[in-house]
Chain A
Amino acid sequence: MTNYKAITGGEAVAEAMRQINPDVAAVYPITPQTIIMQKFADFHADGLVETELVPVESEHSAMSCCVGAAAAGARVMTATCSAGLALMWEMLGVASGLRLPIVMSVANRAISAPLNIHCDHSDTMGSRDHGWIMLFSENGQEAYENMFIAVRLAERKDIMLPVMVNLDGFITSHGVENIDVYNDQVMKKFVGENKPNKPLLDIKHPVSYGPLELPDYLFETKYQQIPSMEAAKKAYLEIGKELSQITKKEYGFFETYKMDDAKAVIVVINSTAGTVKRVIDQLREKGKKVGLLKIVMFRPFPYQEIREALQNAESVAVLDRAASFGANAPLYGEIKNAIYDLKKRPLLYSCLYGLGGRNIFESDIEHLFNQLLNKGLEEVNYIGLRK
């Protein structure tokens, strides 16, 4: 049975938070994330959640509060983007280093300067090595569903890592869609109860969180994050399988669209995948063998699976909505790593697009596919840039 609500992607994330009913949520405004937390604040005001809402004075304190609350033994959430995520930078590493299962949604927005409130992925890509599991969402429905996977993933005892659920700022966060909001009780049962590990509030068993570790111990402690992050891949598939019993959907590290015989492939993250799918449908009608690989899980990065998925492609364009100045763009670099071991590698191109919310049109993607099929691309390309 479906229960469609015409709501924005941001509100869809808030609906997930309502159903998850976290013990503590830290709230601080930043455009375009605010749409998430203010909707959640509405739920709180109406008594629909039992959450302790902490209206902090900065994102740094938002994540600090989440760290304290999660260490205390609470199920904890917050949301941010852009400058807010940047201000949290220090605390992101503390959250993962202390192995705290915090879940945070990020309505992706450009990092300053220049100041810009619109979508790109420079915020989240700048935080990609902080030890957070990173999930991405093509649309509001995926963001909503990712939130449930995120809670389960974060709290698994073999993982115990924070999870970031990304959705495109404005495009997804403020775009109204028909969101299938699943049954409250079913979703509540799906996330289950948080069973904290060595919480601060277990006063009979006092523990010290956040010690000083010198060269004699730190390496071993940090090493433990590596297998746990790796374990998140298998755990994600297991949790996804469970969720699919409710949603009747499949959950993979990435989604492939018409890839079986595709010669030209676009690899992309978040909302642009929807536009690419539409163009693929049009080009397929004209007999062109084009396909899409849409990344859902960026950390841990599914190198092997992507390698297998791309092994029969002839040419691949990787679309990045964030630059890595002086280096390969973030996603392009990862895809390049992934295909290194292939005996016959596809031609690989980097395409930077959409910085600061610059639109990408169907015509751009159609043109790109045609260039891919005709192998007429530079190694690095800029889509929609006025030169």
Chain B
Amino acid sequence: MNIKELALNLEKNRKLEAGHRSCSGCGFPQIVRAVLASTDKPIVASCATGCLEVTTSIYPFTSWNIPFIHSAFENSAATIAGVESAYNGLKRKGKIKDEIKFVAFGGDGGTYDIGLQSLSGALERGHDFLYVCYDNNAYMNTGIQRSSATPYGASTTTAPAGKKHFGKAQFRKDLVKICAAHNIPYVAQASLSNLMDLTNKAQKAFSITGPKVLLVLQPCTLGWGYPMDKTIELAKMAVETKFWPLYEIENGKYKLNYKPAKDVPIIEFIKMQARFKHLLKPENQQIVDKIQQNINFEWEKLLKLCE
């Protein structure tokens, strides 16, 4: 598939319809559409409580052109596990004939934090489903609170930058490797900026039986603080600065999907966003340095794993 075919496919496959109420410039509608367009089979989706769910299913309207269920915040994986189990049971009894795919969506709060146990359980049990985390680095739906996916140094409403503190004082949890440690067949990290790569990964995931996890970076205009027309640029800069490497782990084997042509320092990503604006003060240069060191360290580690 080339980029033109991809665009046509996305236009044709409107499984998440227009008219939803996400913010202008929000990244997740494109992520959801790209994922859902990556299979020709019928698909059932679950979704954790969060931005995606509250903006797409406000009664009496729904944007979902496919069967959709939201039940709570921490259980998107357990809910889809129930749907998938029902499918297996009913199919075995001959009550269902079609081959159906299952996808669970969750934000970083619903995945890294409150939903981690439910996700881990579903991965370990081996349900045949794809889990997609749209990672916007904080609890955006409730008003930009810190999550374990929030980057070091970012200011959020529960870990704000102030006179004494510089925002979040911990680095992000490594969700890809946590998922990979369940020895599932496929885990990948993708970005909204690289739509072809994202589509390839979703297509590959749907072709594999068993649990799969796709972690996609979703820039958030409100939470990150940038103009709404810069979403794709932000996602691209995250990849170019190696803040968000594009890679996959298939049956335990690491593969780097994209290597930036030149070294772009993390300050280029930082300075585009209000959540990091305090880091531009001279006294916070050491924080920026620490972020850069961590990125360098993680990148080298990843390169070794991908050898």
Interface residue tally for chain B (C-beta within 8 Å): 46
A200 to B85, CA, bound (A): 13
Within 8 A of B (CB), among A27-71: 50-52, 54-58, 60-61, 64-71
Given A50-B89, A65-B82, A217-B60, decide whether A200 and B44 contact each other with a Cβ distance below 8 A. yes
A76 to B83, CA, bound (A): 11
Query: What interface size band does chain A fall in?
Result: 35 or more
Of B79, B88, B93, B125, the residue contacting A68 (CB under 8 A) is B79
Distance in Å: Cβ of B36 to nearest Cβ of chain A: 12
Are the CB atoms of A212 and B69 closer together than 8 Å? no
Q: Which residues of A contact B42 (CB under 8 A)?
A: 203
Query: Could you give, for residues 88-127 of chain B, a 1 whenever the CB lies within 8 Å of some chain A CB and a 0 otherwise?
Result: 1110110010101000000000000000011011101100
Does chain A have a CB within 8 A of B59?
A: yes
Given A61-B117, A72-B83, decide whether A206 and B90 contact each other with a Cβ distance below 8 A. no
Within 8 A of A (CB), among B70-84: 70-72, 74-75, 78-84
Are the CB atoms of A206 and B71 closer together than 8 Å? no
Query: Could you give, for residues 203-243 of chain A, a 1 whenever the CB lies within 8 Å of some chain B CB and a 0 otherwise?
Result: 10011111111100100010000000000000000000000
Within 8 A of B (CB), among A78-102: 90-91, 94, 98
Are the CB atoms of A68 and B80 closer together than 8 Å? yes
Of B59, B65, B125, the residue contacting A55 (CB under 8 A) is B125
Does chain B have a CB within 8 A of A73?
A: yes
Q: Which residues of A contact B82 (CB under 8 A)?
A: 24, 26, 54, 64-72, 76
Q: Which of B23-31, B50-58, B147-155, B191-199 contacts A (4 or more CB under 8 A)?
A: B50-58
Q: Which residues of A contact B226 (CB under 8 A)?
A: none
Given A23-B89, A201-B67, decide whether A64 and B79 contact each other with a Cβ distance below 8 A. yes
Are the CB atoms of B71 and A67 closer together than 8 Å? yes
A211 to B21, CA, bound (A): 14
Which residue, of B70, B74, B86, B122, has the highest number of chain A Cβ atoms within 10 A? B86
Of A66, A71, A76, the residue contacting B69 (CB under 8 A) is A71
Distance in Å: Cβ of B166 to nearest Cβ of chain A: 35
A23 to B117, CA, bound (A): 25
Q: Which residues of A contact B244 (CB under 8 A)?
A: none
Q: Which residues of B contact A209 (CB under 8 A)?
A: 68-71
Q: Which residue of A lies closest to B62 (CB)?
A: A208
Does chain A have a CB within 8 A of B134?
A: no
Are the CB atoms of B62 and A94 closer together than 8 Å? no
Given A212-B59, A217-B60, decide whether A24 and B86 contact each other with a Cβ distance below 8 A. yes
Given A23-B89, A213-B59, decide whether A68 and B83 contact each other with a Cβ distance below 8 A. yes
Does chain A have a CB within 8 A of B87?
A: yes
Q: Which residues of A contact B125 (CB under 8 A)?
A: 54-56
Does chain A have a CB within 8 A of B64?
A: yes
Q: Which residue of B lies closest to A90 (CB)?
A: B72
Q: Which residue of B lies closest to A54 (CB)?
A: B85
Are the CB atoms of B57 and A212 closer together than 8 Å? yes
Are the CB atoms of B89 and A211 closer together than 8 Å? no
Q: Which residue of A lies closest to B15 (CB)?
A: A206
Some 27 contacts from A to B, beta carbons below 8 A apart, are: A23-B86, A24-B86, A24-B89, A50-B89, A52-B89, A54-B125, A57-B124, A58-B121, A60-B74, A64-B72, A65-B82, A65-B85, A68-B81, A68-B82, A69-B82, A72-B90, A91-B71, A91-B75, A200-B44, A200-B68, A201-B87, A203-B66, A206-B67, A207-B67, A208-B57, A209-B69, A213-B58
Apart from A60-B75, A68-B71, A91-B71: 9 A-B pairs, beta carbons within 8 A? A57-B120, A64-B72, A65-B85, A68-B80, A72-B86, A201-B44, A201-B67, A203-B44, A206-B65
